[in-house]
Amino acid sequence: MTGIARGAGRSGAESDISGVVAAFTHWSEDQYFYEPDGSQMDLTGLIFYFQFRRSADQTGADVTLSTTGNLSIVASTSGTSCILRISVPSGTFSAYTQDMIADLVAVDSTGNETLYGHGVVTFTNNPVTV
């Protein structure tokens, strides 16, 4: 996956999401958030939901990651809380070795929702096991 740059999305979301993740290993990744001017975006106070569904026709997610579980907000070396850290245990996506539609949504303290990312993430079978 790539970093999140506000205003870069083509789907109505702030940015496009794409990537390939091994479904049977621990998924650990940092996503940095930036404003359109290139400055770091402060994520303090936001609750993130990273949702995955098998089909565009679905109205509910098959898997939801959130900042109350497998996601956390972390400060960069400059001290700005601009990093969304993904930490998912191995096997979480083992039943989903396929392309999945991904939506990254944040909710602020007043309940406003922002769709920060939308796209397709491919979960693949691991080439080897440990």
The reported pTM is 0.85
CA distances from residue 73 to 37, 40, 110, 126 in whole angstroms, order as listed: 21, 13, 19, 28
Rg (CA), the chain: 15
| The predicted structure's pLDDT at residue 55 | 93
* Mean pLDDT, residues 2-6: 48
| pLDDT per position as a tens digit, 110-130 | 999 999 999 999 999 986 666
Chain centroid, CA 59 distance in Å: 18
In DSSP terms, which residues pair with 73 in a beta bridge?
84
In what helix (H) or strand (E) does residue 29 lie, and over which residues does it extend? Answer: strand 27-34
- Other Cβ atoms less than 10 A from the Cβ of 87: the count is 14
